[in-house]
Amino acid sequence: MHQLDKSQLGQVQIFWGNGKGKTTSALGTALRACGNGYKVHLVQFMKNGTGDAEIDYPGEIRALEKFNNFSFTRFGTGSWVIGKPKPHHIEKVNEAFTYLIHSLLQDYDIIIADEILYAVQLGLLEENQVIELIKSKPKNKELILTGSHIPFPNIFELADLVTEVRKHKHPYDSGIMARKGIEY
């Protein structure tokens, strides 16, 4: 295998917006990185399935875990945050955030904090916590943040890449529910 040039790592990427594809974009980057020998770790906020099955995770993660340089940890309650967050939602987000900070100190090249910006949008995490995370991350670690339908200019200002995923049309608007293998 070719020698990795890790000196090019260290940027912050953000995928946000009201369109489908924020997590998919981050995982596409993970696929490319894994294929080139980088170690990628995915930390998913507020995602731990919607049912009781322990192994209730999407096909894209099942596909990526075939790489020996990809790993993931999911945090969630199995229920959506609707209205005011419940204490167990806040507890899981805090647990995920603490784990994320610890992950940045491990032997990963790229860390994806999936749905972390939704945690901020829903009031489960403070914007300043994410700002401090970005400012204090090791300079040689690539950090990818996803989530949120609303912009966070103070966070975006610190990023090297900010991509808005914008919906123009979606099958859900016509009553078509999410399809396994396509939307999840």
Q: What is the pLDDT of residues 59-80, one digit of tens each?
A: 888 889 899 999 999 998 877 7
Q: Label residue 2 by pLDDT band (50, 70, 90).
A: low
Domain extent for 56: 14-174
Q: How many structural domains comprise the chain?
A: 1
What's the pTM? 0.91
Q: Is 55's pLDDT higher than 70? A: no
Kindly state whether residue 7 falls inside one of the protein's structural domains.
no
Contacting residues for 176 by C-beta, under 8 A, at least 6 apart = none
State the chain's mean pLDDT as an integer: 91
Q: CA-based angle 31:78:184, to the nearest 5?
A: 35
Residue 37 lies in a domain: yes
Q: What is the CATH number of the domain that holds 29?
A: 3.40.50.300
9 lies in some domain: no
Confirm whether 3 is domain-assigned: no
2 within a domain of the structure (yes/no): no
